[in-house]
Structures are given as C-alpha cells and as structure tokens.
Amino acid sequence: MLIRSERSEDRQAIAAIHTEAFGRPDKAALVAALRGLAEPTLSLVAEADSRVVGHILFTPVTIRSATSSSPALALAPLAVLSAHQGSGIGSDLVRSGLDACGCLSQSVVFVL
Ligand SMILES: CC(C)(COP(=O)(O)OP(=O)(O)OC[C@H]1O[C@@H](n2cnc3c(N)ncnc32)[C@H](O)[C@@H]1OP(=O)(O)O)[C@@H](O)C(=O)NCCC(=O)NCCS
C-alpha cells in the first residue's frame, strides 16, 4: 500500500471512493466544492495494487474570535473503499496527512 499526493487523473476515482464509502454522493460533491473554494493544502490517496482505494483532504480554514484570527486546516472528508476498510488504510492516511501538515508548519487541524 502506497500513500501519495493526489494527481489530476485521480479525481474520478476519488469521487467514486467517497460515493461508495459514504453510500451517497454528497461527500464527493463536497470535495469538488472545496476544490472550487480554496486550493486544498493537502490531498492524499492510498493506492493498493495500482488502484486508488482511499482519500483524505485537508483544506485551509480561519479560526476567528472577537479579537484574533489564526490559520488552521480542516480534515474532511476521509474515506476508504468498503472492500479495503479495516486494514489500517484510514489510519495510515490520517498519520501521513498529519505528518505532512507538520512539515508544512500547520500546527492546528480540525476534524469534521
Ligand atoms: C472511517 C474510515 C475512513 C476508516 O478507514 P479504515 O481503513 O477502515 O480504518 P482503519 O482500518 O485504519 O481503522 C482505524 C480505526 O478506526 C475505527 N473505525 C473505522 N471506522 C469507524 C467508524 N465509522 N466509526 C468509528 N470508528 C471507526 C476502527 O475500528 C479502527 O479502530 P482500532 O484502531 O481501535 O481498531 C472508513 O471506515 C470509511 O471510509 N468510512 C466511511 C466514510 C466515513 O465515515 N469517513 C469518516 C468521516 S469523514
């Protein structure tokens, strides 16, 4: 199993993963909408037997209070094809994603 950055040719497979794993199309639509709203900071896929079977997305957000605002990342969505669930791929995507966020000096990540 390989964790790597998303490539443009992965987009259809990513949409199919979210649709299948969640059992409805709204998370695939969310990924497309987030791509349109903000350049995702990090989009990773898990590849098994040369097939994309999992995906995780981190998108920039701003945390605002009455007196300050600071940058953070939102982790959402995360999905693994149901036939590949339960073998650690989701955990590997989260760990690899958080490691990469750290390398990008992003120290705050929200999970939706
Ligand atoms: C959630 C999901 C990504 C986990 O992927 P996975 O490859 O099966 O996860 P792993 O095999 O790495 O398991 C990680 C841990 O999460 C737990 N887990 C898996 N799915 C879970 C769920 N829906 N709720 C709570 N815990 C869950 C596992 O039991 C495991 O716990 P353990 O380490 O204590 O045994 C996958 O089940 C999935 O795509 N689900 C549908 C989409 C979804 O709900 N995404 C999350 C919200 S964005």
pLDDT tens digits for 79-90? 999 999 999 999
- Compute the mean pLDDT over every residue in the chain, rounded to the nearest whole number: 94
Structure confidence by residue, pLDDT tens digits, 17-59: 999 999 999 999 999 999 888 776 799 999 999 999 999 999 9
Q: What is the DSSP string of the chain?
A: -EEEE--GGGHHHHHHHHHHHHTSSHHHHHHHHHHHHS--SEEEEEEETTEEEEEEEEEEEEEE-SS-EEEEEEEEEEEE-GGGTTSSHHHHHHHHHHHHHHHTT---EEE-
Ligand 1 pocket: which of 80, 84, 110 to mutate (most atoms within 8 A of CB)? 80
Q: Provide the pLDDT for residue 41.
A: 79
The full set of domain ranges for the chain reads: 2-111
**Is pLDDT at 92 greater than 80 in this prediction?**
yes
Please give the distance of CA 56 from its chain centroid, rounded to a whole number: 2
Domain 2-111, CATH: 3.40.630.30
This prediction's pTM? 0.92
Instruction: Report the pocket of ligand 1 as residue ranges, CB < 6 Å.
Output: 21-22, 76-80, 85-91
